[in-house]
Amino acid sequence: MDDSFSDFVELSQQWIDEAVAAGWLPNLAKEKCESITLESPGTLFSVSEQRPLVVAFFGGTGVGKSSLLNRLAGTNIARTGVERPTSREVSAFIHESVRLTHLPSDFPSEKISITRHSLAEYRNVLWLDMPDIDSVDHKNREIVFQWLAHIDVLVYVMSPDRYRDNRGWQVLLSHGYNHAWLFVMNHWDRGHPSQLDDLKKNISQTGFQNPIVLCSDCLNDSPDEFDKLGKTITSLAQGNRIHQLDQHGEKLRVQGLAKTIEHWLNTLGPKDARETLALEWVTNWGQVKQSIRKGLDWSVQQIAQNYPPIRSKDRRSEIALDKGRSIPFGNSSWNLWDDWAQTRLEDALSSIQIKCGAIAMPVKPLKRRMTQLNEKASEIIQGQVEHSLRESLAGSETGARRFLLILLKTTAIALPLLTASWVVYRVVNSFYVAGNTESGYLGINFAVHSLLLVISSWFLPWFALRQFKPSHQHLATRGLTKGLNLGLDLLDRKVIGTLDEIEKERLHFSTIGGNLLAQCRKLAESRLKPGDQVLQRVLKQPG
Q: What is the mean pLDDT of each run of 10 residues along the chain (543 residues)?
A: 76 94 92 81 74 89 85 74 53 85 68 84 89 76 82 89 79 79 88 89 85 81 82 88 87 88 94 94 94 92 75 44 42 73 94 92 94 93 89 67 77 87 83 72 80 86 72 81 94 96 96 94 80 83 67
At 533, is the secondary structure helix, strand, or coil? helix
Judge whether 191 and 185 are in contact, CB under 8 Å.
Answer: yes
- 339-358 and 273-295 helices cross at what angle (nearest 10)? 160
d(C-alpha 324, C-alpha 335), whole Å: 12
Spatial separation of the C-alpha atoms in residues 470 and 474, rounded to whole Å: 6
What SS3 class is residue 153? strand
Instruction: Please tell me whether residue 115 adopts helix, strand or coil conformation.
Output: strand
Measured CA to CA, the distance from residue 350 to residue 423 in angstroms comes to: 75
Say what the pLDDT of residue 313 is. Answer: 45
Q: What are phi and psi of 437, to 5 degrees?
A: -130, -175
Q: What is the DSSP letter of 289?
A: H
d(CA 396, CA 108): 83
Q: How far apart are CA 195 and CA 185, in angstroms?
A: 9
Q: Are strands 125-129 and 112-117 parallel, antiparallel or unpaired?
A: unpaired
At 238, phi and psi to the nearest 5? Answer: -65, 145
- What's the pLDDT score for residue 331? 37
- Please name the residues in contact with 361: beta carbons below 8 A apart, sequence gap of 6 or more: 268, 269, 270, 273, 506
Could you give the percent of the chain with pLDDT greater than 70? 85
Map residue 215 onto helix, strand or coil: strand
Q: Give me the torsion for CA of 282, 283, 284, 290, rounded to 10°.
A: 80
| pLDDT score at 148 | 84
* Residues 12, 33 contacting (CB under 8 angstroms): yes
Closest by CA position to 533, among listed 200, 270, 211: 211
Cβ(247)–Cβ(528) below 8 Å: yes
Identify the H or E element spanning 97.
none
Rounded-to-integer distance, Cα 534 and Cα 324, Å: 81
Q: Which pLDDT belongs to residue 322?
A: 41
Angle at 282 between CA 277 and CA 288, to 5 degrees: 120
Phi, psi of 340 (to 5 degrees): -65, -45
Position 401 scores a pLDDT of 66
**Which residue(s) pair with 98 in the sheet?**
none
DSSP state of 24: S
Q: How many CB atoms lie within 10 A of CB 140?
A: 22
Structural domains in the chain, CATH included, are: 53-236 (3.40.50.300), 270-527 (no CATH)
- What secondary structure, in 3-state letters, does 226-278 show? HHHHHHHHHHHCCHHHHHHHHHHHHHHHHHHHHHHHHHHHHHHCCCCHHHHHH
Q: Give the per-residue pLDDT at 494.
A: 96
**Which candidate, 524, 535, 525, 464, places its Cα nearest to that of 243?**
535
Q: In DSSP terms, which residues pair with 31 in a beta bridge?
A: none
What is the residue type of 477?
T
User: How many angstroms separate the CA atoms of 214 and 231, rounded?
Assistant: 12
Query: Which residues neighbour 321 within 8 Å (Cβ) at sequence distance 6 or greater?
Result: 327, 390
Q: Residue 324: what pLDDT?
A: 40
Determine the 3-state secondary structure of 10 from DSSP. helix
Q: Cα(419)–Cα(449) distance, rounded to whole angstroms?
A: 12
